[in-house]
Amino acid sequence: MAKIERILVPIDFSDYSHGALDYAANLAEATGAKIHLLHAYHLPVQLASLGEVMIPQDFWTAVRDAATQKIQALAKQLEDRGISGETELIEENPARAIVRHAETIEADLIVMGTQGLSGIKRLMLGSVAARTLRLAPCPVLTVPKDAAVAGKFQLARILVPMDFSPSAHAALELAKNFAKLVTPVHLILVHGYYIPVEIEALALHEGSVVLEQLSTGAEKGLAAMFAELQDQGISAEYLADHGSPERVIVEMAKRSEVDLIVMGTHGRTGFVHATLGSVAERVVQNSPYPILTTKVRE
């Protein structure tokens, strides 16, 4: 990501999506990007499955009119802040609409809430966020409800989970490039190593030799990356710790009071490395901090 010019923000008018829009607006002010607001609405499955239920056309007209007024009001708020914005309403499955619209406008970034409105009439951004993470054609920045920016917007401390996979390396490059667009940055590389529970007892019985090998290998890999970052003039630190990757990531993020977590959505599997694909979704569910995810295209 050499620059951010187009940010897509899915809106369902929940507090979560409003928080994501506020974050995106701060980012747009810092980078000069344009914001594309998207609201997708569709007939809930619960109603569509009831063959005898007929939804009056006037109902959908009223839904669209109300959404139009709300999204235009949000665009006006962006305009008042000096941010260029566009709006789009689509009657389509939300996750599909987000991915397709991101492709259409060639979005550099999607910024969205981790959850949304629930209920029969409303879009649920929780499951939509998970699908968007897997299918998006560009990096996705998920923003928890309570991750409001207090005071000056900054990205001074960025945590990068590292399992040494291509996706993790891509996340590190994204973190470096992303931070350069906004402010000087301090990168925190973290690796959580673990062994399958089925053989953990055996490993401990053998004197923790396996854990020592994992720790040594992780420390060596992180130290090499740390040295490379120093050669590039980038402030950094690193940590390897025993535990489930998602727990290590979230605990380190809290301890370091980071501004952002940047991670890959796919990683290596097997005995030595964490599977960052599923880990990313679990971190998104549990982190109080915004998370920027990216993946390597196969």
Q: What angle do CA 133, 36, 157 make, to 5 degrees?
A: 55
- Whether residue 1 is contained in a domain is answered as no
Structure tokens at 204: 């401990």
Are residues 182 and 120 located together in one domain of the fold? no
| Mean pLDDT calculated for residue range 164-189 | 86
Going 276 to 132 to 258 to 237, the CA torsion angle's sign is: positive
Considering the entire predicted model, what is its pTM?
Answer: 0.83
Residue 150, domain member (yes or no): no
Of 143, 168, 193, at which residue does a domain stop? 143
Domain-located, residue 271: yes
Domain boundary among 143, 176, 198: 143
Q: What residues contact 14, with CB distance under 8 A and at least 6 apart?
A: 113, 115, 116, 117, 122, 125
Say which residue the tokens 């009119």 belong to.
65
pLDDT band at 266 (very low <50, low <70, confident <90, very high): low
Whether 47 and 124 share a structural domain: yes
Please check whether residues 10 and 120 belong to one and the same domain.
Answer: yes
Cβ atoms 148, 175 nearer than 8 A: no
pLDDT at residue 44, rounded to an integer: 57
With respect to residue 151, please indicate whether it lies within any of the assigned structural domains. no
Q: For residue 207, give the CATH number of its domain.
A: 3.40.50.620
- Say what the pLDDT of residue 215 is: 75
Question: What per-residue confidence (pLDDT) applies to 205?
Answer: 61
Q: How far is the C-alpha of 17 from the C-alpha of 150, rounded, in Å?
A: 17
Same structural domain, 88 and 195: no
- Statement to judge: residues 116 and 237 lie in one domain: no
> Is position 149 within any domain?
no
Whether 108 and 187 map to the same domain: the answer is no
Helix axis angle, 94-105 to 125-135, nearest 10°: 40
Q: What is the mean pLDDT of residues 157-172?
A: 92
**pLDDT tens digits, residue range 231-253?**
988 999 999 888 888 899 999 99
Is residue 15 very low, low, confident or very high in pLDDT (cuts 50, 70, 90)? confident
SS3 content of the chain, % helix, strand, coil (to 5): 45, 20, 35
Q: What is the mean pLDDT of residues 71-83?
A: 96
Domain identity same for 137 and 170: no
Which range, 100-109, 122-131, 148-157, has the best average confidence (pLDDT)?
100-109
Q: Give the mean pLDDT of 211-221.
A: 78
Tell me: do 260 and 217 sit in the same domain: yes
Low-confidence winner among 45-49, 133-137, 293-297 (lowest mean pLDDT): 45-49
| 84 and 175 assigned to the same domain | no
The answer on pLDDT for 138 being more than 60 is yes
Range of weakest confidence among 27-31, 100-104, 123-127, 263-267? 123-127
Please determine, for residue 51, whether its predicted confidence score (pLDDT) is greater than 50: yes
Q: Say if 55 falls within a structural domain.
A: yes
Least confident piece of the model among 77-91, 175-189, 194-208? 194-208
**How high is the pLDDT of residue 291?**
93
Residue range 143-165: mean pLDDT, rounded: 78
Indicate whether 193 and 236 sit together in one domain. yes
Reduce the DSSP state of residue 116 to 3 states and report it.
coil
More reliable by pLDDT, 287 or 273: 287
Higher pLDDT, 120 or 24: 24
Give the whole-angstrom CA distance, residue 194 versus residue 243. Answer: 6
Residue 234 within a domain: yes
Q: Is residue 142 a contact partner of residue 18, using CB atoms and an 8 Å limit? A: no
- Residue 292 is predicted with a pLDDT of 94
- Regarding whether 137 and 68 lie in a shared domain, the answer is yes
Higher pLDDT, 194 or 36: 36
Integer Cα distance of 44 and 47 in angstroms:
6
- What single-letter DSSP state applies at residue 150? P
Cβ atoms within 10 Å of 240's Cβ, excluding its own:
21
Total domains in the fold of the chain: 2
Average pLDDT over residues 126-150: 79
Asked whether residue 254 is domain-assigned, the answer is yes
Query: Which range marks the domain in which residue 162 is found?
Result: 157-294
In order of 33, 103, 139, 141, 182, the CA distances from 107 in angstroms are: 10, 7, 9, 12, 18
Domain closes at, from 95, 119, 143 = 143
Q: Specify whether 139 is located in the same domain as 165.
A: no
Mean pLDDT of 257-262: 93
CB atoms within 10 A of CB 202: 10
